[in-house]
Chain A
């Protein structure tokens, strides 16, 4: 490695500053946040009254001798999802719906479970208490069967009432971690300082965070916890420059995504992702940047389209001469995933990604590398990425100009 661990060079800051300037310029050109998009926090009375309305509808249809049914926006079809560069994947306003009928053997259970969760939410909102999704599952674990059933229903309800999960008084325990130059005040007045050596868990109430303070130059999202811990052990944040590191430990949860969105909205510092150079890594990066299909109804609160793919690019494997021993060949499933990602709508506006993935496809035997394997010199490699990014950023600038990236 040609780099000596002496601290960041001027060129590195230059890259960052130029990138930030271009981001801000793009932001200004695009005007302020897209108007009217996001779901705002609904007041408890609004939630209560909308639940009451739903119950009333059910009772009315029963009185008319019709089988009641819920109409739920279909969240699992690409047809309902519009891709917009400034927002990411978000739901179209008139999307196809599916009915959960009470008179069909397949959906009657789901119908009942939705009603049950409605009643629990109603109680939570009424008493102004909060519960986690796990709490809800454990109130009647036999009835629900498994956690994903509850999660899905809660997402459906959130989509049905058009309010974020927080307004339903349902929390999800965050699995994400933060470290680096960030201080903030939680809702209950607790002071949190992330500059310490150990990482801090992402708070469960992102909206309640106040007084964020940072000197950070950039925000680095790390896909994996192992990589994150390695960087932390290497004292990456101090060696590199002031920065914030966040990991969602794989596919990020809503809180981690909300936090990144909040950090971006507050500071407008460049956000980079460090993911594995495999289809899953690319997908996770896409979730941070453009959001996922399942949560597309809340995309305005969750996506940060300004996120950049820093590494590990599939082409880096060749460029950095990564030893073959640390590479893991792509499996059949990886290939399928890659193909499915290539079909996603956002790929069309990312010719650079396309190229990278084509490189990926061309040499399936090379596969990807696990970052943990390069232990000690990870931050050097990262620096290399930044410079690499600088080299390729001409492409980014071009993309910004045509308002593409």
Chain B
């Protein structure tokens, strides 16, 4: 027993012993050891501390054992209970479970554990290696093969340090023998074996830019497990900073479990003996299998530190991302012109001004994210930790550490879903096909009906690649309805005209405006006048037309484009048929009737009313205003060709797009063009519609007969 507890000076006398002292995990039976020590008070303190430390060490790996430690000094009983039954643990192997509450390993009370975001350590288990037993070690070979399993963890969890850069400040090594009993070197004067004197004997710290030096002054009097070996980081610059860094950084906890490869061959009773034997020879054993041990410890440490670096990186990423996010929100907030939005934002965070808003935003963002951030902190009370198989697997495993299981489940579900969907799709398809088959007769009927519509669509598809402004179906209807209407209305009119105004001097056709005398000025001048009125829209058109003048002329002169126009129903309707028939009805037939009845002035203004009523169906299309001028042109020229051309031109131009002109990039010249057009029109209206230009007026005859004395027109 002495050998197990170095630094324990008192002589022990076993007084009583109940039950066997098998300390395996199933040992739930109460077990009492009473030692009576005759002691000097000086050593008692140390002794009890040594015992306490031993007990602490035991319970960190055997949490199910509960120790009642009581010391009776001068009749005063002080009692302490050691046990970690309810602590979260991590199952390693052979029934050994590591307590992951970092309270056990933290020596400094600096961290108030209740406020730690994560109060656990997250060990990495290395895979076990076989130890070589030197030949000169007597008796060990008989016991079986020894293995060493390292477990590495960072304490406290990196989450604690999320406000600062994480650093490693010290390394603590804990040695455990078979069945999780602490392995303590017998040499009490020198607690650490020469093997561990050199910090880089097993681990190459330089690889991690760390410079470790052994730490000798370990006080027993601390609330946590005392490591068997401890190193401290000496800053590589050799500055005195190392002193300040000490307690603040993280500690690397390295647990080394020495165990028998197979189940311990001997009796449980021999455990103590074996333990003592092992303690004695461990140094030699470790030295013998130096390279193997180094390899496996180094791998485990590397992985733990890799995790650490990832945590650091993740933390930096979070910091950077959060500041970007906060900056963006601030930029939107401050840049916004929407005052209600800004006010609501300020109110939500209860900030007085934008600056306070910014700081509060940053703070709450940090608080909110920190709670759940930081790499993989599992909250399960019990966990099974399995050693990694090899390096290659390790990488992938780490990458999916969190979610591999969920992922697997997820994809499984997805594929199943897909399969289901595909199945149902297939069903739908077949159904669709069946219904298509059922529909066939009606379809055939519709196809039979198609030919009647075909010629129309055919001709249009050949030619109708002009402006697609109007809906195709609507234009057809309009064209069909308008043409026969115009023709039909001619017959009764002719009758009325002949009946009322039959006059020997003027034929009906002349009266209606069909005559040769002065046809050229009659064709050109009114058109010119209308074009002047439309000066603005014309300018707009030329500006907006993507083709230049040469192209335009080419198009105008090409017989193909004319041929296309002539076969285009819409073009024919808009530019030829409609102007001709409408002018025939409203000007040629109506005006000669109206003029004698109402006089010239009212006739000019009432005639467009009729026209307007007839075009009521266009009301949704566009308003028309140009008709009165057309009427006066007919009156003054006495030719139908003038109004027809003007009408055709107006139909082509449509109502001037004033709104578009107002938003046109070259607004000024355009609007000037509009104004100039209207001005010139008003100026030139009188001279250009001078009846003298167009030969004698047949209408005057009518007017004379009616006794009208509208001299200016007929003089």
Contacts and interface: CB of A to CB of B under 8 A. Distances in A.
Among B329, B344, B551, the one with the most A-chain Cβ atoms within 10 Å of its Cβ is B329
A103 interface: yes
B328 A119 contact: yes
A28 B547 CA distance: 32
Nearest to B460: A24
Among B318, B327, B369, the one with the most A-chain Cβ atoms within 10 Å of its Cβ is B369
B329 A119 contact: yes
A189 B329 contact: no
A6 B421 CA distance: 54
B545 interface: yes
B396 interface: no
B367 A65 contact: yes
Contacts of A119: 327-329, 331-332, 335
A340 interface: no
Contact of A112 (B328, B333, B341): B328
Interface in B321-340: 321-322, 324-325, 327-329, 331-333, 335-338
B344 to A, nearest CB: 6
Contacts of A191: 545-548
Contacts of B349: 59, 62-63
Contacts of B371: 103
B465 A216 contact: yes
Chain A contact surface mostly: helix
A21 interface: yes
Given A21-B457, A56-B348, A65-B364, A185 B546 contact: yes
Contacts of A9: none
A51 B551 CA distance: 48
A113 B331 contact: no
Nearest to B447: A401
Given A59-B361, A191-B548, A67 B369 contact: yes
Contacts of A113: 321, 324
A49 B332 contact: no
B417 interface: yes
A193 B417 contact: no
A214 B546 CA distance: 11
B454 A21 contact: yes
Interface stretch (A231-239, A265-273, A275-283, A296-304): A265-273
Contact of A102 (B344, B365, B429, B457): B365
Contact of B465 (A48, A184, A269): A269
B310 to A, nearest CB: 9
A143 B373 contact: no
A1 B431 CA distance: 46
B625 interface: no
A104 interface: yes
Contacts of B336: 48, 52, 122
B117 to A, nearest CB: 12
Contacts of B450: 25
Contact of B546 (A52, A58, A115, A213): A213
A348 interface: yes
Chain B contact surface mostly: helix
B461 A17 contact: yes
B664 to A, nearest CB: 8
A402 B434 CA distance: 12
A60 B349 CA distance: 8
Given A56-B345, A63-B364, A116 B328 contact: yes
Among A51, A113, A115, A214, the one with the most B-chain Cβ atoms within 10 Å of its Cβ is A115
B348 A215 contact: no
A60 B350 CA distance: 11
A119 B327 CA distance: 9
Contact of A52 (B324, B341, B436): B341
A123 interface: yes
Interface residues of B, number: 63
Interface string B366-379: 01110111110000
Contacts of B324: 112-113, 115-116, 143
A84 interface: no
Contacts of B14: none
Interface string B461-491: 1100100100011000000000000000000
Nearest to A194: B546
A299 B443 CA distance: 30
Given A17-B461, A126-B335, A65 B368 contact: yes
A33 B375 CA distance: 52
Contact of B329 (A115, A184, A345): A115
Contact of B325 (A25, A115, A211, A215): A115
Contact of A210 (B318, B338, B544): B544
A337 interface: no
Nearest to A77: B414
A251 B642 CA distance: 57
A79 interface: yes
A66 B368 contact: yes
A79 B457 CA distance: 40
A21 B450 CA distance: 11
B362 to A, nearest CB: 10
Interface residues of A, number: 63
A63 B348 contact: yes
A146 B393 CA distance: 30
B705 interface: no
A188 B546 CA distance: 12
A166 interface: no
A380 interface: no
B666 interface: yes
B651 to A, nearest CB: 19
Contacts of B368: 62, 65-68, 102-103
Interface in B424-475: 425, 429, 436, 443, 447, 450, 454, 457-458, 461-462, 465, 468, 472-473
A230 interface: no
Contact of A56 (B321, B344, B364, B373): B344
Interface string B632-664: 000000000000000000000000000000001
Contacts of A267: 465, 468
A108 B345 contact: no
Contacts of A60: 348
A341 to B, nearest CB: 16
B314 A105 contact: yes
A108 B317 contact: yes
Contacts of A20: 461
Given A211-B545, A211-B546, A51 B332 contact: yes
Contacts of B473: 28
A246 to B, nearest CB: 17
Interface in B679-715: none
B374 to A, nearest CB: 8
B338 A112 contact: no
Given A49-B338, A59-B348, A102-B368, 17 more contacts: A20-B461, A25-B450, A49-B341, A52-B341, A60-B348, A79-B417, A108-B318, A113-B321, A115-B324, A116-B324, A118-B328, A183-B551, A185-B544, A189-B664, A191-B546, A192-B546, A193-B547
22 contacts: A24-B461, A49-B338, A55-B341, A55-B345, A59-B329, A62-B365, A68-B368, A103-B368, A108-B317, A108-B321, A119-B327, A119-B332, A126-B337, A183-B547, A189-B665, A192-B546, A193-B547, A267-B468, A268-B468, A269-B465, A348-B429, A402-B443
Top 6 A-B residue pairs of the complex, sorted by shortest distance between their CB atoms: A183-B546, A112-B321, A119-B328, A115-B328, A112-B324, A112-B325
Interface of A: 17, 20-21, 24-25, 28, 48-49, 51-52, 55-56, 58-60, 62-63, 65-68, 79, 102-105, 108-109, 111-113, 115-116, 118-119, 122-123, 126, 143, 183-185, 188-189, 191-193, 210-217, 266-269, 345, 348, 401-402
Interface of B: 314, 317-318, 320-322, 324-325, 327-329, 331-333, 335-338, 341, 344-345, 348-350, 361, 364-365, 367-369, 371-375, 417-418, 421, 425, 429, 436, 443, 447, 450, 454, 457-458, 461-462, 465, 468, 472-473, 543-548, 551, 664-666
